[in-house]
Amino acid sequence: MGGHLFPVVCAVPISKEQKGVEEDEWDLVFVDSIDDCYDESTEALVEEGGSPNSPFIGKTPQECYQLLLKLVEDTESEIMTPSFAIIDERSTRDDTVLLVCVEKDLETEVISFPTVRAAFQASALALSLYHSGHSSVAEDIERAQREPDNIYRGR
């Protein structure tokens, strides 16, 4: 395994054609079960469509986060739960994802779930930068607000 693995969850059923991923996005892992162990990057389940039984379908960012925490606890998956991406209904229309970065207070209590709409191509690097502290969702929200469609497209 190399690097940190950032989960991408599907909050809507999608077809296999909608799950393509570029080779350089190696630190993403597509999660569609909370029973499997995820310890290496994936190529977006291109062989089959998204699971219609995915526990993430119809869930909010907060609910997705809770499911990811349960996944790590139950399976010892090696994923980064504080930052992840959600493929939602809008993603199926415009090739974007919703980036989520959980914010905690000094006592590690979750205080908010800021999100930014991002181009899928920018998501892997953005999640990595959030994790390393070299960027934040707040900064990317500001960048997205300067775009006519409010989508973050990278630096």
Of 34-43, 76-85, 118-127, 141-150, the one with minimum mean pLDDT is: 34-43
Query: Which whole number is the average pLDDT over 17-25?
Result: 46
Residue 9 and residue 44 in contact, taking contact as beta carbons nearer than 8 Å = no
Give which of 30, 78, 21 is closest to 56, Cα–Cα. 30
Q: Which residue has the higher pLDDT, 9 or 24?
A: 9
Own/partner long-range contacts of 53-59 (Cβ < 8 Å, ≥24 apart) = 54/9, 54/10, 54/13, 56/9, 56/10, 56/11, 56/31, 56/32, 56/86, 57/10, 57/11, 57/12, 57/13, 58/11, 58/12, 59/9, 59/11
Instruction: Report the share of the chain in percent with pLDDT over 70.
Output: 83
Six-digit token pair at 95? 């090739």
Q: How many CB atoms lie within 10 A of CB 20?
A: 11
Q: Could you read off the pLDDT of 44-66 as tens digits, one per residue?
A: 544 445 567 789 999 999 999 99
Q: Could you read off the pLDDT of 70-120 as tens digits, one per residue?
A: 999 999 999 999 999 999 999 989 999 999 999 988 878 888 999 999 999
Q: How far is CA 105 from CA 21, 78, 92, 126, 130, in A?
A: 34, 23, 34, 22, 16
Query: Which whole number is the average pLDDT over 124-128?
Result: 92
Query: Which whole number is the average pLDDT over 126-145?
Result: 94
Tell me the pLDDT of the chain averaged across its residues: 85
Cα separation of 127 and 68, whole Å? 16
Q: pLDDT at residue 126 above 90?
A: yes
